């Protein structure tokens, strides 16, 4: 049985990691991610916390592996 909510969460975690890695060589301040939230740009917040996407992905994958019957 497929759980689409978990698929969406995995997709979000993958996007966080991709944006994090893309922000390293190409600064994203001049894109739509440059909007200010709480005094900092969204691109800075994602780039600083993008490593949590890897953790989320592995936790979700571990959950799916252990729930497989």
In this structure, are residues 22 and 28 in contact, taking their beta carbons and an 8 Å threshold?
Answer: yes
Is pLDDT at 69 greater than 70 in this prediction? no
Q: pTM to 2 decimals?
A: 0.72
pLDDT tens by residue, 34-52: 777 788 777 777 777 788 8
Tallying the residues shown for the chain, one arrives at: 69
**β-strands 36-37, 40-41: how paired?**
antiparallel
Mean pLDDT score, 2-6: 88
> What's the pLDDT score for residue 64?
87
């Amino acid at each position: 049985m497929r759980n689409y909510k978990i698929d969406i969460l995995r997709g979000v975690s993958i996007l966080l990691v991709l944006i994090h890695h893309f922000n390293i060589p190409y600064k994203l301040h001049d894109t739509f991610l440059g909007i200010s939230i709480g005094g900092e740009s969204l691109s800075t917040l994602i780039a600083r916390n993008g490593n949590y996407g890897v953790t989320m992905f592995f936790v979700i994958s571990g959950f799916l592996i252990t729930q497989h019957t």
